[in-house]
Chain A
Amino acid sequence: MPSKNKVTVTAEPGTQELFIVREFDAPRELVYKAHIDPKLYVQWLGPHGYEMVLETFEPTNGGKYRYVHKDKDGNEYGFHGSFHAMSIENMIQTFEFEGYPGHVSLDCMTLEELPGNRTKATIHSIFQSVSDRDGMIQNGMEKGVSEGYERLDDILKEMK
């Protein structure tokens, strides 16, 4: 069982950006592969309880992507964007939630090699406005809360 690596999210009040930092107990080439291989990507990106359908996925400079999260009630949430720089050190892409069209963020991800075959991932997201960023955090919050309860359910089931 690998040691638990913590995610840190930094979002200074009143700014248009946020940072997500996380380390992995795996070499960089594998972390990169999990981001550019569509079969692997769908296995971890979708929120818990949603089916993730990757409709388009062209992870090269100028390529595009579109995926849909489907929940049990048949609700669908589409996301799309374009890829720019795509290398093992640096991945840049745009991101747009189709439920909030015209609000596009820029996600820059770097993968850094650490000693002991470990990797540090840093995502720097830049939004068009402070309220766009805060709206995104708020949206994530609602999902995060429901996922928290679902995890609690799983733990309770195991205790029975």
Chain B
Amino acid sequence: MRRDVFQAIADPNRRAILSLLARQRMTLNGVADNFRISRPAVSKHIRILKECGLVVVIPQGRERYVEAKFDKLNEVTDWVEQYRQLWETRFNRLDDLLEMMKQEKKNALEK
């Protein structure tokens, strides 16, 4: 099973859990109270988020708190940056080609 940041944010419930945790850390039950899906379903999503490194679960007394780790989300931006570079190489080549085409057109007009 794929466990990375993309897997983590692929599900709308997990995105909702993350935006809830963006404001403050919450207990497991506190998170579940905000959702209409079952408690085991919420626990499953939190487990996936944990395995993807986007949240940590901290036991404190009898409660277990869930805290978001947002720096992990930056991975997404970096991947997009690499994808951008692929297109940049491609389009830089297209620039060279367009320069040649412009020159050819100019030469044809001058004839």
**Which residues of A come within 8 Å of B, CB atoms?**
2, 4-11, 13-14, 20, 22, 24-27, 30-31, 33-34, 40, 43-45, 47-48, 129-131, 134-135, 137-138, 140-145, 147-148, 151
Contact A22 B97 (CB under 8 A): no
Given A2-B95, A13-B9, A24-B95; A140-B73 close (CB under 8 Å): no
Inter-chain CA distance A48–B92, complex, in Å, is 11
Inter-chain CA distance A47–B88, complex, in Å, is 11
Q: Which residue of B lies closest to A43 (CB)?
A: B97
Contact A9 B97 (CB under 8 A): no
Contact A7 B87 (CB under 8 A): yes
Contact A30 B101 (CB under 8 A): yes
Given A34-B97, A147-B86; A13-B91 close (CB under 8 Å): no
B101 contacts which of A7, A34, A143 (Cβ < 8 Å)? Answer: A34
B7: which A residues are within 8 A, CB to CB?
A: 131
A43 contacts which of B15, B81, B85, B93 (Cβ < 8 Å)? Answer: B93
Contact A30 B105 (CB under 8 A): yes
Contact B98 A26 (CB under 8 A): yes
Inter-chain CA distance A7–B86, complex, in Å, is 10
